[in-house]
């Protein structure tokens, strides 16, 4: 399911700042430039995370027959924290370079 959502998000990124769809943080909503960069980075990151997790879960469950649910949830949370940090760091660099 996450892979399907990430493919849709990658293909159909929100054009305008909105309150329903996209990477929405205080920094991403500062300007259209911030919005576009944040959503482009977040969509690529989410697609990578979901592809990586799909491959890892197929290997763990189908080939190694390991109960992967608890590990998967922890890994997913860690990946989301890293993804948010990565995008927010880039948005702060934009602010720093603009000044």
Give the integer Cα–Cα distance in Å for 49 and 7.
11
Per-residue model confidence (pLDDT) at position 59: 85
DSSP state of 30: S
Give the integer Cα–Cα distance in Å for 72 and 69.
5
pLDDT > 80? residue 98: no
Give the integer Cα–Cα distance in Å for 17 and 54.
30
- Mean pLDDT over all residues of the chain? 90
Domain boundaries, the chain: 2-98
Percent pLDDT > 90 in the chain is 65
Residues 6+ apart with CB under 8 A from 97: none
């Amino acid at each position: 399911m996450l892979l399907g959502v990430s493919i849709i998000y990658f293909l159909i990124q929100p054009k305008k700042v909105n309150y329903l769809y996209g990477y929405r943080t205080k920094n991403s909503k500062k300007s259209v430039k911030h919005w576009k960069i944040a959503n482009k980075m977040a969509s690529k990151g989410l697609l990578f995370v979901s592809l990586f997790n799909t491959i890892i879960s197929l290997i763990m469950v189908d080939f190694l027959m390991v109960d992967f649910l608890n590990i998967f949830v922890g890994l997913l949370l860690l990946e989301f924290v890293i993804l948010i940090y990565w995008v927010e760091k880039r948005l702060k660099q934009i602010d720093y370079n603009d000044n």
